[in-house]
Amino acid sequence: MRRGKIVFAGILLAAAAGATLFAARPAAVPAVEALPASSYIKWVDFNVPADALDRSCRAAVTAHEEGLGASMPDLLACLAAGYWGNWKSYRAADLDRLMDRLRAGETLDGIGREYKDYPYYKEAYGAVLDGMVGDYAIALPGEDGEPRWQVKYGLKAYCPVAEGFRFSHCDDFGNARSFGYRRRHLGNDLMGSVGSPIVAVESGVVEELGWNQYGGWRVGIRSFDGRRYYYYAHLRKGAPYQPGLERGNVVQAGDVIGYLGMTGYSRTEDVNGMKVPHLHFGMQLIFDESQKTGNGEIWIDVCQLVNFLERNRSTVDRDDGGFYARRYEYLDFSAAQYLTDSRGTS
């Protein structure tokens, strides 16, 4: 890590000392820039397998260490363009060869010019994955048991269910649903036990909070760049949320935001209308703010993403009140930067 990065990290850590980002409020919820209708993406079929996500994440960390200038989404975009979007053609050796070309002095954008669809996949996969790898700091216990801040670069997104709590799931994206009206299932159901802590997958701003007749108690979190909206639904009856969570809060990846339940499918609030306890987890992509609601919404299949994120689960402890909180202090530099920028424009 360069000296400038260390100094920058130290400044952010000092600024965050004594302050909880969970309770902080930015000037406004993130939004994307309005664009002409002909210039933004209208559909994304995200079908990258978990193994490719895992290997490209590790390759991006290696590329960062070696100064190769290759991000996780750009590596995957180059592969996808070469496969014509058909990930059934995926071979791990293809990523190895791509890294070899980078070490030989080529660039991803240069390699990408060999494929007509590389710009599309670069933007589409960036919209999905841009917030998942980067700089963060975590206070882990040293040999003496005392916490020591460690500045790292790597995977900073978390599995939506905290460590130590079992869940199961399958790819149920697109299955039929009929409560209220016939529609497609636009998420992934993670089956677990009532009360399992649910954490923020990525840092962002709480945009939606409260009851919905379909999703029950739910939380919607918008990424700082405005392009991702994470949806967590069917939370616990009676005490669905982490105490203090409010619309407009900044939360960090791995923070406990709520508790798994079975609410929903009811016009009356706080009703267990689901037959099986589970978390409905979804991700919406937003390239233009007009896509946030209505017929232009883009929801992606997150099943393989959940499989990939199982390697990174937030460690939590239970307090005397029966709620959970993350064990290790954590700082996502993008969260601190977003707060600094939003306060500067307020």
User: How far apart (Å, rounded) are the C-alpha atoms in residues 24 and 20?
Assistant: 7
Whose structure tokens read 């390697």? Answer: 311
Sign of the Cα pseudo-torsion (264, 297, 28, 330, in order):
positive
Average the pLDDT over 154-179 and give the result.
Answer: 88
User: How far apart (Å, rounded) are the C-alpha atoms in residues 79 and 316?
Assistant: 36
Provide the pLDDT confidence category of residue 258 given band limits of 50, 70 and 90: very high
Residue 328 has pLDDT above 70, yes or no: yes
> 344 is written with which tokens?
């500067």
Residue 4 has pLDDT above 60, yes or no: no
Residue 243 has pLDDT above 80, yes or no: yes
Percent of the chain at pLDDT > 70 equals 87
Average confidence score pLDDT of the chain: 89
Backbone angle region of 312, left / alpha / beta, with phi > 0 → left and psi within -120 to 50 → alpha: beta
Percent of the chain at pLDDT > 90 equals 77
As beta bridge partners, residue 231 has 220, 282
Delimit the domains of the chain by residue range. 48-129, 155-344
Residue from 123, 126, 199 nearest 161 by CA: 199
Q: Which residue has the higher pLDDT, 15 or 50?
A: 50
pTM of the model as a whole = 0.91
Angle at 53 between CA 337 and CA 74, to 5 degrees: 60
Average the pLDDT over 311-337 and give the result.
Answer: 96
User: How far apart (Å, rounded) are the C-alpha atoms in residues 312 and 118?
Assistant: 29
Provide the pLDDT confidence category of residue 118 given band limits of 50, 70 and 90: very high
**Four-way CATH pick for 155-344: 2.70.70.10, 3.30.428.10, 3.10.20.30, 3.40.50.620:** 2.70.70.10
Minimum mean pLDDT among 28-32, 147-151, 210-214, 254-258: which range?
28-32
Residue 20 has pLDDT above 90, yes or no: no
**Pairing state between β 256-259 and 183-184:** unpaired
